Amino acid sequence: MHMKLGLIGFPIKHSLSPWIHNQFLEKSGMKGTYSIMEISPDNTFEQELERIKESGLDGFNVTVPYKKQIINYLDDLDKNAEIIGAVNTVVCKNGKWIGYNTDGIGYVIALRKNFPEIFHDKKNRILIFGAGGAAYGIYYGLKSEGFTQIDIANRTHSSAKAIAILGDNNVETSILSLDEAQESINSYNLIIQTTSVGMKPNTEDTIIPIKSLNQKSVVSDIIYQPLNTRFLMDAKKTGASIHYGHTMLLYQAQYAFELWTNKKIPIDNMDQQLKTILEGR
Ligand code: ATR
């Protein structure tokens, strides 16, 4: 069987997804291709999708800026993706397109692989910075794991509030301003940075300066370009443990590949290999 896979988004010429999925294809012993299908915002999205539909793909990933827009063109939507309101993986089956979101689950799996102890106490206090698509997936993923205290800090209060509505009686969520988060940051066990602040080329930027932290806390940044964001480096200096963003990229891809092929490919040393690629960029 020859799997035809790919990625839509813009700009995606330097995406690492082809590297990841080509490794998965090789490890699975399946023949296949994973193509970059860049859709410029100047083109008509609908026409481009028609062309993609005709090409007979088995599945594809969706990245910025189309994760919400794609929903209008799907035949079915997984419950998780519906709640999150964004799709990053489409399965094409019998001419139908079904949308999923593997980002939040990918984050949770990566976190468990690297810091299993966090999952031993569901009362651990969690703080998420940001309220974009990634924050939705991660909040929902952690809530589904049974964590009971997940706060959100964001520049815009209303966006954070919209995520908190996904909560229920089992989760307590306070909405914090960035200043409030800075003041209370050492009361959290897990801190997750999901905004675009600090991404290349603005590597000097940080969502908040970190001066002190609970030494036992774990700090994640989902940015992986650069791998060592200022946020993570500040956290490291305080003695906290840090969790790199490329791991989420790997595990969301692992789950997407499983949705397309029913095969779960072990990550093995791909974690270290991807880190080396990113460090060289
Ligand atoms: P994604 O869907 O990839 O997560 P997004 O929807 O563009 O990205 O969300 C970006 C997040 O980064 C938001 O939380 C945004 O804050 P606002 O809700 O206030 O817009 C946050 N963000 C981006 N630039 C920021 C900046 N300069 N300062 C503070 N927050 C910023």
Q: What is the mean pLDDT of each run of 10 residues along the chain (281 residues)?
A: 95 97 98 97 92 96 97 97 96 96 98 98 98 95 96 98 86 97 98 98 98 94 97 97 98 98 97 96 84
| Closest C-alpha residue for ligand 1 atom 26 | 197
So what's the pLDDT on residue 43? 81
Nearest 5 degrees, angle CA 277-CA 280-CA 281?
A: 90
| Closest C-alpha residue for ligand 1 atom 22 | 195
The atom number, within ligand 1, closest to the CA of 129 reads: 14
The atom number, within ligand 1, closest to the CA of 159 reads: 18
- Evaluate whether 57 touches 21 at the Cβ level (below 8 Å): no
So what's the pLDDT on residue 1? 80
So what's the pLDDT on residue 93? 95
- Distance between Cα 89 and ligand 1 center (Å): 22
* Beta pairing partners, 79: none
So what's the pLDDT on residue 168? 77
- Choosing from 195, 207, 220, 252 the residue with most ligand 1 atoms within 8 A of its CB, the one to mutate for a pocket test is 195
Active site residue 67: yes
* Dihedral sign computed on CA atoms, order 14, 68, 24, 104: positive
- Distance between Cα 168 and ligand 1 center (Å): 24
| Ligand 1 pocket residues where CB is under 6 Å | 64, 130-135, 154-156, 159, 194-197
- Distance between Cα 202 and ligand 1 center (Å): 14
So what's the pLDDT on residue 235? 98
Helix axes 246-261, 103-114, angle to 10 degrees: 120
CB contact burial 227-237 (16+ within 10 A = b; e otherwise):
bbbbbbbbbee
Nearest Cα residue to 132 out of 208, 175, 193, 77: 193
The model scores a pTM over 0.85: yes
